Each structure stands twice: as C-alpha cells, then as structure tokens.
Amino acid sequence: MTSLMENRIEQAELLTDRVELRRQVEFTVSATPVIDIHTHVFSPEFDGMFLHGIDELLTYHYLIAETFRSTDLLPERFWGMTRTQRADLVWRTLFVENTPLSEAACGVVSVLRAFGLDPRSPDLDDARAFFRSQDLHQHLDRVLAIAGASDLVMTNDPFNVREVLLWSDVTNPDHRFHASLRLDGLLNDWPQAVQTLGRRGLRVGTEPSGPTVSKLRRFLDEWVARMKPLYMAVSLPPEFNFPDDDVRDLLIREVVLPTARDHALALALMIGVRRGVNPALRAAGDGMGRADIGALDRLCAENPDVRFLATVLSRENQHQLCVSARKFNNLMPFGCWWFLNNPSIVSEITRERLELLGTSFIPQHSDACVLEQLIYKWRHARVIIAASLYETYDRLLQSGRAVTRREIVRDVTRMFSGNFRAWVGLQQTPCGTADHTLESP
C-alpha cells in the first residue's frame, strides 16, 4: 500500500517538461553548497598569506600574463612597480583600454558586480575604498555565502619557509578551511629539498637511502600531525612517468605511498604543468604539456589500496583520464584545471565526464588564490555545470526516463561534496562543521 502511494508521489514528481526540468537543474546547481577541494586561499589566521581585495585580484598571475599581451612594458619594469602600480596598469590595460573578454578578466567584472561596483570605472578609487572598508571576517562570510562554498581546501607547503613559521602560531584555523599537504618541494627538486631540509636541521643524503627514507617518513608524519590534511598533493610535469628510474619514483614508493597508507590519506596528482616556460613572467610564465595517462594507470594498478585524485592540464588528456577512471575505482578525476577553466572547455570536459562516468567525479575546483575569486570561479562554473547536466537529463528523458527533483538534488550533492567527503573521509558534523575521520578505501 505504502509503496503504491510512494510510487504515485514519485510519478507526480517526474520532470517530464523540459522547461521545468531546466529550471529545476539550474536552481539546484545554484543552491547546492560546494566543497572547493583545491584552492590557494588561506584562512585569515595565516597572516600575510590570506589574500583579498582589488589589488590582489588584479595582480593574479592569469591577468599579468594577459597584460603583457597588450603592453610593450618589459617584465623587469613591471616587477619593479609596487602592487598598487601593477594593479593600476592591469586595470588600465585590460579593463579600460581593452574590453575584458578573457575568462579571468570577465571574472573580475563578476566580482565587482557582486559588490555593486562599476566595472567601467576609469580608475580603482571606489573599488579600493570599498574593500578597505570591509570587516574582514564579515567579508569572508559574505564571499563564501555568495560562492556557495561550505568548505575549502588550502594548499599547504611544508617547504615554504614563510608558511612553516605561520603554522607554529596557527592552532585553530577557521573550521571551513582544511589543509592539503603539498609535496612539490619534496618530489620535484630533490637537490633543493636536501638543502632546505638541511637548513632545518634534517640532514638527508643526496642519494635517498634507508636512513634518509626513515627521516623523510618522520618529517611527513609530523606535518600530517600538525596540518591534519585531507589529502597529500603534488603537481607534476608532462614527462611524469611511473615506474621511472629517478629519485621521484623512489620517493613516491618509499616515502609518499607508505605515508598515504599509514594515515589513510588520498594522494592528488596534478599532471601536465611545465614550470617557468618564460621565467621573466614569474608565476605567469608557467606552461603546460600533454601527459602520459598510462603512468597514472600503472600507479593505480600497483596501489589498489591508495585513493588517487587526479586532474590533468592538457585538453588532449581529458578523455583518457575518464577512461582510466572507468578502469580504476581508486581514481577520482577532479576539476578543470587552470588553462582549462574556460567556459568552452569546462563544458566539453563536464559533458564528457557525465557521459563516461555518470556522477562519479568532482566537476570543478576553483584554484582561487585571492578570496573574492571564489565568487566568479563558482558562479561561472555553476552556469556551465547546470547546462551540461540539463543536457544529460534531457537525453535521458528522450530515452524514456524522467528524473525527479530529489534525484537532481542527490546527483548534484554527490558531485559537489559527496564524492570528495567519501574519498577523504570528511564527515558532516551535526553543527554543520566537518570532521576528518580516517578510513581505508
């Protein structure tokens, strides 16, 4: 009897009208809180590293690279300017003398509009006055509310001297901010790592042998205890291979994977970045290349007890990453990273992932460095994700199966937070804050 009634209610809830279906998808995608699983935003407790405001927004490295395309100014002159002068130059070049058409420039416009500021202003006076007048904590709450982000994951580097010093003071960071333990300093430049560790009193051999491995394991154990990261992460060049006959391979096998197992921590691999293609542009001078997804397959196959998160920078690698995720259920594709975070490419990748993986992936992360970027990164992402999801439900409808509103909520919640929570063992506590519990795959 009950199931008959439930069945009737379900039938009544079926979204068979396309206009209504689109409306429900758009509403759900815009209203569902997201966990932003990879950012470079720090919580306010990290004094000097919590970036916010118009000058930081305009001197984001995406916009610096674009400014050099529309000015003859030499990089050394640019780096000789103060932050305020750089921001003024970027504003004049990209927003006044040119139309801000690129995704990163359009993002600044979205942020300004969210606060009622004029994106056609000839200068930055009003914007600067606005950001200066904000109470920092209220402003943070407001930005997270507009972005619809319940939690965010920082990028925490135990090889960054400035950050290391701050960690000794940060005992109780804002509960919405979680750590991730970044391993680039260990895995991408071993000779430099040896020196950095040596300066901190940790003597390790240039050839990582038994004692060095033990010291490095202890080093990571200590940072896991201090940061309580949700996962470990590393960005890798397109040439990354596994197995390989280099130091990185040894460190991954002997230090990183055992740490992942001991602490039940997932390992995020961000593959395809070529650092310093144009060093004169500093962070704006990084490039990319196509990776070998076979390396990821072999890593997943050899380590079925470790969970991997993966994002790849080359558009050409996206399809193969989806196919790999179909083979290995310890592999979770996430985000449309960096040069992929443009509407046309986000749309293509999201549709491809829905078609190959259903809802078993994490559609986007913001990679925001400056607090207010969260607003545009998520607003823009939600529009594309909603359109891609609507298209997918519509195809299902045309095949003969409608969905209900409850199913849409379930699907979006899974992609926006559920997949990540399950992957890293992050539970929702009754008061709305999150709790990290360790769990094996």
Residues lying near Zn ion in the complex (CB under 5 A) are found at 367
Please state the φ and ψ torsions of residue 231, each to the nearest 5 degrees: -160, 170
* Least Å from the CB of residue 305 to ligand FIX: 26
Considering only 55, 157, 367, 411, the residue that binds ligand FIX (CB under 6 A) is 367
* Least Å from the CB of residue 120 to ligand FIX: 27
Q: Could you tell me the CA-to-CA distances from 108 to 33, 329, 338 in Å, in that order?
A: 22, 38, 16
Measured from the CB atom, the residue of 283 and 396 that comes closer to ligand FIX is: 283
Q: Which residues contact 72 (CB under 8 A, 6 or more apart)?
A: none
Query: Do 155 and 39 meet the contact criterion of CB atoms below 8 Å apart?
Result: yes
Q: 3-class SS at 129? A: helix
323 interface partner picked from ligand FIX, Zn ion, none, CB below 5 to 8 A per type: none
* Least Å from the CB of residue 403 to ligand FIX: 34
Measured from the CB atom, the residue of 271 and 412 that comes closer to ligand FIX is: 271
Dist CA 222 CA 201 (whole Å): 14
Considering only 153, 270, 288, 386, the residue that binds ligand FIX (CB under 6 A) is 270
* Least Å from the CB of residue 335 to ligand FIX: 9
Query: Do 438 and 54 meet the contact criterion of CB atoms below 8 Å apart?
Result: no
Q: For helices 18-31 and 373-399, what crossing angle results, to 10°?
A: 150
Helix or strand run (H / E) with residue 148:
none
The count of residues interacting with ligand FIX (CB under 6 A) is: 9
Q: Enter the tokens of residue 53.
A: 């405001």
Dist CA 144 CA 101 (whole Å): 25
254 binds ligand FIX (CB under 6 A): no
Measured from the CB atom, the residue of 286 and 367 that comes closer to Zn ion is: 367
* Least Å from the CB of residue 23 to ligand FIX: 32
Considering only 26, 27, 33, 40, the residue that binds ligand FIX (CB under 6 A) is 40
Dist CA 382 CA 364 (whole Å): 9
Written as one letter, the residue type at 135 is: D
Measured from the CB atom, the residue of 271 and 306 that comes closer to ligand FIX is: 271
Dist CA 412 CA 363 (whole Å): 10
Site string for ligand FIX, 148-187 (x = CB under 6 A): -------x--------------------------------
253 interface partner picked from ligand FIX, Zn ion, none, CB below 5 to 8 A per type: none
By CB under 6 A, the residues from 373 to 392 that bind ligand FIX are: none
DSSP symbol at 272: -
* Least Å from the CB of residue 366 to ligand FIX: 9
Measured from the CB atom, the residue of 368 and 412 that comes closer to ligand FIX is: 368
Cα-Cα-Cα-Cα dihedral sign, residues 81, 86, 88, 92: positive
Considering only 306, 331, 369, 426, the residue that binds ligand FIX (CB under 6 A) is 369
* Least Å from the CB of residue 151 to ligand FIX: 18
Query: Do 300 and 328 meet the contact criterion of CB atoms below 8 Å apart?
Result: yes
253 binds ligand FIX (CB under 6 A): no
* Least Å from the CB of residue 386 to ligand FIX: 23
235 binds ligand FIX (CB under 6 A): yes
Residue written as token pair 């033990």: 214
Please state the φ and ψ torsions of residue 361, each to the nearest 5 degrees: -150, 170
Site string for ligand FIX, 272-311 (x = CB under 6 A): -x---------x----------------------------
* Least Å from the CB of residue 38 to Zn ion: 6
Residue count (the chain): 441
283 interface partner picked from ligand FIX, Zn ion, none, CB below 5 to 8 A per type: ligand FIX
For every residue of 166-198, DSSP letters joined together read: HHTT-SS--TTEE--EE-HHHHS-HHHHHHHHH
Between strands 287-288 and 149-153, the pairing is unpaired
CA 294 to chain centroid: 23
Dist CA 111 CA 314 (whole Å): 28
Dist CA 390 CA 61 (whole Å): 33
* Least Å from the CB of residue 221 to ligand FIX: 24
317 interface partner picked from Zn ion, ligand FIX, none, CB below 5 to 8 A per type: none
Which residues lie near ligand FIX (CB under 6 A)? 40, 155, 235, 270, 273, 283, 338, 367, 369
